[in-house]
Structure 1
Amino acid sequence: MTADPTSTAKGISSGVSYIPFGIPGLDGHVRGIPTGSTVLLAGASDAGGDAFTYTSLATLMLAKHRPEMVPNGVADRTAAIPDSVTYVTLSHDRDHLYSELDAVLDGYQFEALTANMTVADFSQRYMELLPVPNPLFDARRSADDIEQPETEPDPSATEPSEETFEKFLEDVSERVTDAADTLVVVDSLTDLERATEFGLPRNHEVAFLMGLREAVVNWGTVAFVKLDRPASAVRSDELIHGLLHGSVYFYSNDKGFETYRTMRVGSFGGALDTERQTVFESRIGPAGFRAKATKKIGPSNW
C-alpha cells in the first residue's frame, strides 16, 4: 500500500521544532530557529555579532541546565535545545575565546556556558599553514590541547605528509561531525575566506558550507557560522547570501561619541517571514547582547 504523501509530509513537518535565539528582546518577537538549520551570523567586527553569539549560547545553556535563571518563555522551550555547545575556532586560541566570553558575559552566564562547552581549537594548525615569519610564529601562545591531524604520519614514508588547507578543512569537518548532537559554532567563515589567499580554493569553502548545511538538516540541531564582513557586502555576495538556511545581519553606525547598532533576522525558508521585516536596535551591556524592536520595513499593506 502506497503511503499518503500528505501524511508523510505532515510527519516530516511535525518533527521540526524551534530553538529560542536566547536573546532578550528578540525571543517573543520571532518564533525561534527551526531545528536542522545552519545560521549565518554576519556583520562588521564592531556590529555586535560576537556578543550576540556569546549571549545566545550562554542563555541556551542556562535554559537547559539552570532554567530558573532565564525568563519563562525561554525556560519552557528547553526540549529542543542541545545539552552542550561545540565551539570550533580556526584562528583564535582557546584562551582568547575565554577572555572574550568573560568580557561580554556576567559571571553566572560565563560559568553556565563554559561548563557545557567544548572548544575545538584549530588555531595552531591554521597558523602553521600561513607564511608567518618564524620569530613571530615562535612567539605565539600555543596550547597543549590543540586539535591535531586525524591521521598519524606513516613512519615508513620517505617524506612526511604535507599539511594542506584541504586536509585541514577535512579535519575541521570531521570534528564538526563528531559534535552532531550539540549546538555547533564555526568561528569563522572569515578565516576560511582569508585562507583562499594562501591556497584554499574558494570552491572548497563554498562546498564546506553546502555540506554543513545538509548535514545539520540530518542531525536536527543548529549550527552558527560567523562571518566578519559588513552586512551589506554579504547580502550582495551571490555565493554566500541565501546559501545557508537562515541569517542574522548586524549593522553599526557611528553617532557622535557612540556606535548605534541594529540587527535583522533574515529568512529561514519562509519560516520566520512576516509581511514586514522588523529592525531591532541592539545594545551590549553587563549581561551581554540585548535587542529591542524599533521599526518595521517593507509594505504597510497589500
Structure 2
Amino acid sequence: MSRPSTAEAKSISEGVSYIPFGIPGLDGNVRGIPTGSTVLLAGAADAGGDAFTYTSLATLMLAKHDPDLVPGGIARRRDTIPESVTYITLSNDRDHVYSELDAVLDGYQFDTLTDNLTVADFSQRFMELLPVPPALFDARRSDSDVEEPAGDAPRSGTADDETFADLLNDISERITDADDDVVVVDSLTDLERARQFGLSQGRVTAFLIGLREAVVNWGNVAYVKLDRQASAVRADEQIHGLLHGAVYFYSNDKGFETYRTMRVGSFGGALDTERQTVFESQVGPTGFRTKATKKIGPSNW
C-alpha cells in the first residue's frame, strides 16, 4: 500500500472543517465539531443534554437560514453547516419531540428549526417489539407520520435479536437517506433498554461503529443521545471512546437548586488541550447556554 506524500497528507488535513456547536458561551472557547464526526451526548436525564441538543440544532439552522439572528462568529461559518436536520426517535413520538422543542426554545428558534427538521418516528415500531400490555399499546397515541416496517413486524414482545436487527437496518437506511443532514439518534438509552427484550450488545455496538464510519464518509455530523450519568459512561469500555467525540453533562443538587456543568471530551485530539475546560450551564428563555469556569487536569474528571 502506497503512502500519501506530505503534500497529499496536508491537503487531507486542510480539507477538514469545523461546524459550530451552536451554544452561546461554548463557541468561541472551543473550535467546533470536525466534519465527519459522530458525537455522544451523555449525562443524567436532568443534566441538560436535551436542552443542549435542541439549542444546538436551532442555532445551526438559524445560522444557515437566518444568520442575522445569531452571533457573527457562528454566522460566518454557515457554509460548513448542513441545510437541515433529521431527528431519529425511538420511544418518543413525533408530537412529543415537537412539544419538548417548544418548551426549551423561543418562538423564532422553534420556527426556524421545525421548518428545516424531519422527525423520523420509529416509536411505534420500537413499541411493537416490547411486551407492552395490549390495552396500553392500543391506547397509545400514534399518527400517520410514523416509520413503517418494510415487511410484517411481530407484535407484543415476540421479538428476538434478529427482529431488532431488522429495526436497526431500517433506521440505518433512514439515516442513509439523510447523508447531507445533521443527524440525531434519540436515543442510545432506548437501545440499551431493549437488551432486556432480546437485542444483543453486539448489534448495538455494530450499529454505532457503522454509523461512525458512514458519517466520516458523508462529512456531516451526527449526535447520539444517552441518558446515563457521565461518570458511568466514561467508565464503560463498551461506549467510552467508541465514537469520535463526546459532550458530558453533569448535575449536582445544592440545596434547592441544581448546579449543572458540561465538558467536551476528546475528538481524536482535534479539540484536546492539556487541561479540559469545565463549563457552567443553564437553560434560559432561548435555550441552553454555558460559561467557562475553570480548567482541570485529565485525572480530575
Normalising by the smaller structure, the TM-score range is over 0.9
Distance 1:98 1:218 in 2: 30
Indicate the SS of the match to 2:79. coil
Aligned to 1:121: 121
**Cα distance in 1 between the residues matched to 2:37 and 2:27:** 17
Cα separation, 2, equivalents of 1:273 and 1:109: 31
C-alpha displacement of 1:145: 1.3
For 1:276, the equivalent position in structure 2 comes to 275
The whole-number CA distance in structure 1 between the counterparts of 2:225 and 2:3 is: 41
Alignment of structure 1 residues 189-204 onto 2, 5 Å = 189-204=188-203
Which residue type is aligned with residue 205 of structure 2? Answer: V
| CA displacement at 1:7 relative to structure 2 | 1.6
If the length of structure 2 is used for normalisation, what is the TM-score? 0.94
Supply the AA of the counterpart residue of 2:257. E
TM-score (norm 1): 0.94
Aligned to 1:157: none
Which whole-Å CA distance do the structure 1 matches of 2:8 and 2:192 have between them?
40
* 1:132-171 pair list within 5 angstroms: 132-149=132-149, 151-152=150-151, 164-171=163-170
User: How many residue pairs get matched?
Assistant: 290
Give the C-alpha shift of residue 3 in structure 1. Answer: 7.9
Partner of 2:68: 68
What's the CA shift string for 1:161-209, capped at 9, x where partnerless?
A: 9981110011001100110000000000000001111111110000000
1:229 aligns with 2:228: yes
Inter-partner Cα distance in structure 1 for 2:182 and 2:193: 25
SS in 1 for 2:78: coil
1:238 aligns with 2:237: yes
Q: Aligned equivalents of 2:129 and 2:297: distance in 1?
A: 46
> 2:15 aligns to what?
15
Residue identity in the other structure for 1:94:
R
Measure, in 1, the Cα distance between the counterparts of 2:3 and 2:36: 24
Q: Which runs of 5+ in 1 are unaligned?
A: 154-160
Displacement, 1:4?
5.2
The residue identity in structure 2 corresponding to 1:200 is: L
Which amino acid letter does the alignment assign opposite residue 28 of structure 1?
G
Aligned residue identity for 2:293: T
CA distance, structure 1, for counterparts of residue 60 and residue 78 of structure 2: 8
| Corresponding position: 1:296 with 2:295 | yes
Runs of at least 5 residues in structure 2 that lack an aligned partner in the other structure: 153-158
Q: 1 CA distance for matches of 2:237 and 2:173?
A: 27
Q: Please give the alpha-carbon distance, in whole angstroms, between the structure 1 residues aligned to 2:101 and 2:145.
A: 19
Question: Equivalent residues in 2 for 1:57-136 (5 A)?
Answer: 57-136=57-136
Say if 1:258 and 1:199 are closer, same or farther in 2 by CA, change over 3 A.
same
Tell me which residue corresponds to 1:54: 54
For residue 13 of structure 1, give the secondary structure of its aligned residue in structure 2: helix
Cα distance change, pair 225–3 in 1 and its aligned pair in 2 (3 A): closer
State the alpha-carbon separation in 2 of the partners of residues 176 and 81 from structure 1: 17
* Alignment-mate amino acid for residue 209 of structure 1: L
For structure 1, which segment, 164-173 or 58-67, has the greater mean C-alpha deviation from structure 2 after superposition? 164-173
1:77-99 CA-partner distances (Å, limit 9, x unpaired):
01110000000001100000000
The secondary structure found in structure 1 opposite 2:288 is strand
Could you say what secondary structure the match of 2:118 adopts?
Answer: strand
Superposition RMSD on alpha carbons, in Å? 1.4
Cα distance change of structure 1 residues 7 and 57 upon mapping to structure 2, 3 Å threshold:
same
